[in-house]
Structure 1
Amino acid sequence: MTFGYADDWWVPVLCPVLLWVPFGPFLRGAVGAWCAARPGWRPRLWSVLLPLVPVGVSAAVTVLPPDQEKRTEDLVGHAAVHIGGITPLPWLLGYGTTRPVRAVRARRGGGASAG
C-alpha cells in the first residue's frame, strides 16, 4: 500500500493509461506515418500492439467490477474517446498525410533538388 489505501495496486496498472492520454496520439500519428512510409508487417504489428495495453486496461476499468450496474453512457464514452478518438484518428492522420506527401515527392522526381 503506497498511499495507505486498499486499492493502491491500481496505480501501476493505470500508469499506461495516464501516459496514453497525452502522448498516445503523437505515438499513433508517428506509427501511422511509419506504416505509410515503410510497408510491411512490422509497422502493422506495432500499430496493433502499441495501444493494446492502455486501451485494454482502460476498457477493463470501465467494465469492471462485473457486479456493479453499468451505465451505457460510460461505455459509449469510453468507446468514443479511447477506442474511437485517441487510438485510430491520429494513426489515420499520420498515414493519410504521409501517403500524399510521398506521392507528390515521387512525381517531382524523388524530392531531391538538383543544384
Structure 2
Amino acid sequence: MAKKSKQYDYDLGEVKRLIGETDKNYREIAAETGCPYASVVYHGRKIRGRVNRMRQEEIQAEQQQPQSLLALAQETQEEPTVLSGGTTLSISRNEIHIQNAEQEAAKMIKAARAMGLTKINITIDR
C-alpha cells in the first residue's frame, strides 16, 4: 500500500509576499502560514537568493553605513583644528574592489579629520 503524501493548507502567495517584503526568517514564516519549512526555504532562496549568515551580516553592515561620502562628510559637524605650515597628507590605496571603495574613502576622510585637515583631494584613477 502506497504512503499518502501530506496535505497542507496554506496560501503560497502569502508565503512569497512574506519572504519578499519582510525580514522574517524562514521558521517564522513557516509557523505563521502553515507552509512546510522546506517549501519556505525553497521559495525563499528563489526570491531572496542563497545568502548565508555571514554574507547577510555583511549586507546589513553595509546598509547601516552612510549611503555616500557626502552623507558621511555632512554627518560630522566637528570643528577641526588646522595644522600649521600647510601640512600635506598623502594616503593612497591601490587595487581596491569597487564594493570596498566607499569604506576605504571613509577611512581616509576620518584620518584627515583626525589630523585636523579641513580640505582634502580625492582622486580616482583607472
TM-score, normalized by length of structure 2? 0.27
Higher relative contact order (CA 8 A, sep 6+): 1
TM-score, normalized by length of structure 1? 0.29
